[in-house]
Structure 1
Amino acid sequence: MPLGVLLFDVDGTLADTEPEGHLPAYNKAFRDHGLDWRWTRSLYRKLLLISGGRERIDHYLDAYDPALGEANDDSVRSDRQGWIDEIHRSKTRHFRDRLQKGQVPLRPGVARLIREAGDAGLRIAIVTNASRATLEPFLAYAIGDELLPYIERTICSDEVAHKKPAPDLYRTACERMSIAPADCIAIEDSNAGATAAHAAGVPALVTINADTRDHPFEAARAVVDSLGEPGAPVTILQSPGFDFDYVDLDVLRRLNAMG
């Protein structure tokens, strides 16, 4: 069977949501709750190795033992998960505000590739560790009305038992779209995402960003620095054995056929 479905990750793949959206939103949420915390870019890069926003806050509490203040300390002791959920909801509101203000643009080549795939009859789904509450404003403000009709399905972390790097999200995507994993290709930005796709039998292309540049990518069929554009070629960091200037449908079909 030929390539039939493109499965896009979101954070770091479709847009640089982490440094431009989530990180400043976390820091504003901390201030909302009277916390004297400020996650720097270097610290956040380490925290990104933990999959999931709530899980990152939970890990930060254990690994860094930050000051809480009396009121927050009482809340954590009485209902730690509920307290984390409150902070995460605040973060989601601030993230939505940044999206609405146009502060989280799509990465180079993303809009072009979505249009090319949709116009050629390929089906497209989003497969993300983000919650649906976080994804919906991204779809509304970053993807927008022009590109949204190309997206057939969205599969979020709150619909599966385990987030990436577990294969649950990709297996669910293939099941819901009634397609074999080998007839898809995943477009990811991280080792966790590529590992999840590979474990589900889905070949993966990785487009790195500043936060994932140093990840190992044994599970990826190719690694590039972006999807690129005509006249703005990509840098191929892990070659599939052939050269290309930017990622288009021909490149994706060749990657998929490497099996």
Structure 2
Amino acid sequence: MTLGALLFDVDGTLADTEPEGHLPAYNRAFREHGLDWTWTKKLYRKLLLISGGRERIDHYLDRYDPEVGTHDERIRDDRAGWIAEIHRSKSRYFRDRLEEGQVPLRAGVARLIREAGEAGMRIAIVTNATRATLEPFLAFALGDALLPYIELTVCSDEVSNKKPAPDLYRAACERLGCAPHECLAIEDSNAGATAAHAAGVPAVVTINEDTRDQTFETASAVLDSLGEPGEPSGVLKSPGFDFDYVDLDVLKRISARTMEQPPRAG
């Protein structure tokens, strides 16, 4: 058996979309809707433990009881609709930031996608983002140079449950026609690694500022980035061998090791 496909998460994995894109977009959306709310990086890190943008706003209302100004009646009558309107505004501002080039890809991402794609490796994107949120990322962050290598995208509005549930990874494996243990997930969060593990897919985690304090018991390796030639990856949990940066050969070696004892799907 050989590595059959790479399954990439998006937010925090392909790019630091949360601090560079989503967080400022949320705060602009709040101002647009007349809300005196400002999510700081510290607060947003806590809110990221809630999967999904609309769910995050809903949780913020419940947990932090913020001032809502003149919106009380609307929230009572149509809370979900009101939240959806704010989230649509956020998505528009997020798209603007992508189009302006303010959300660059993380180290090693473009190199690895290109290398894997040119080698004929199947590549999918598996994300908690909705299709509407993902499409501008594909267009402006990946662009014409990398997008042709992406065979499949699976978004949260296509399954019943978001990560950390396994639904997205199960759907990706089914649509690709690959056994889960023949795939490898690239993630940045414990929720993502947990989702992959529950689907029987081994995961490599590249942490970021929002996830570095999380635990990753199920991950096959935990790194601070994919790295680049001359800019080695920092290894927090080793896959059992040494390397400078993550390339396709490294991922194949990680996959071969995990195939000896594939993760059991939950």
TM-score range, shorter-chain basis? over 0.9
Aligned residues: 258
Q: Summarize deviations over 1:162-187 as a string: whole Å, max 9, x none.
A: 00000000000000111100110000
* Structure 1 equivalent of residue 198 of structure 2: 199
C-alpha distance in 1 between matches for 2:6 and 2:72: 45
* Structure 1 equivalent of residue 10 of structure 2: 10
Question: Are 2:28 and 1:52 aligned?
Answer: no
**How do residues 38-77 of structure 1 correspond to structure 2 at under 5 angstroms?**
38-70=38-70, 72-77=71-76
* Structure 1 equivalent of residue 181 of structure 2: 182
C-alpha distance in 2 between matches for 1:193 and 1:32: 32
* Structure 2 equivalent of residue 243 of structure 1: 242
**How do residues 1-259 of structure 1 correspond to structure 2 at under 5 angstroms?**
1-70=1-70, 72-259=71-258
Indicate the SS of the match to 1:258. helix
One-letter code aligned to 2:219: A
Indicate the SS of the match to 2:151. strand
* Structure 1 equivalent of residue 261 of structure 2: none
Q: Summarize deviations over 1:139-166 as a string: whole Å, max 9, x none.
A: 0000000100000010000000000000
Q: Summarize deviations over 1:57-112 as a string: whole Å, max 9, x none.
A: 00000000000012x11110010000000000000000000000000000000000
C-alpha distance in 2 between matches for 1:57 and 1:245: 40
Q: Give 1:257 deviation, angstroms.
A: 1.1
Q: Give 1:197 deviation, angstroms.
A: 0.2
Q: Give 1:130 deviation, angstroms.
A: 0.3
Q: TM-score, normalised by structure 1?
A: 0.99
Indicate the SS of the match to 1:142. helix
One-letter code aligned to 2:256: A
Q: Give 1:219 deviation, angstroms.
A: 0.9
Q: Give 1:241 deviation, angstroms.
A: 1.2
Indicate the SS of the match to 2:7. strand
C-alpha distance in 1 between matches for 2:39 and 2:132: 22
Q: Give 1:258 deviation, angstroms.
A: 1.3
How large is the Cα RMSD of the aligned pairs? Answer: 0.5
C-alpha distance in 1 between matches for 2:103 and 2:74: 33
**Deviant stretches of 4+, over 2 Å:** none
Q: Give 1:254 deviation, angstroms.
A: 1.1
Indicate the SS of the match to 2:94. helix
C-alpha distance in 2 between matches for 1:144 and 1:75: 39
In structure 2, stretches of 5+ residues that fail to align are 259-266
C-alpha distance in 2 between matches for 1:165 and 1:109: 25
C-alpha distance in 1 between matches for 2:31 and 2:85: 13
Farther-moved stretch of structure 1 (233-242 vs 9-18): 233-242
C-alpha distance in 2 between matches for 1:238 and 1:215: 13
C-alpha distance in 2 between matches for 1:14 and 1:38: 26
Q: Give 1:48 deviation, angstroms.
A: 0.2
C-alpha distance in 2 between matches for 1:242 and 1:195: 23
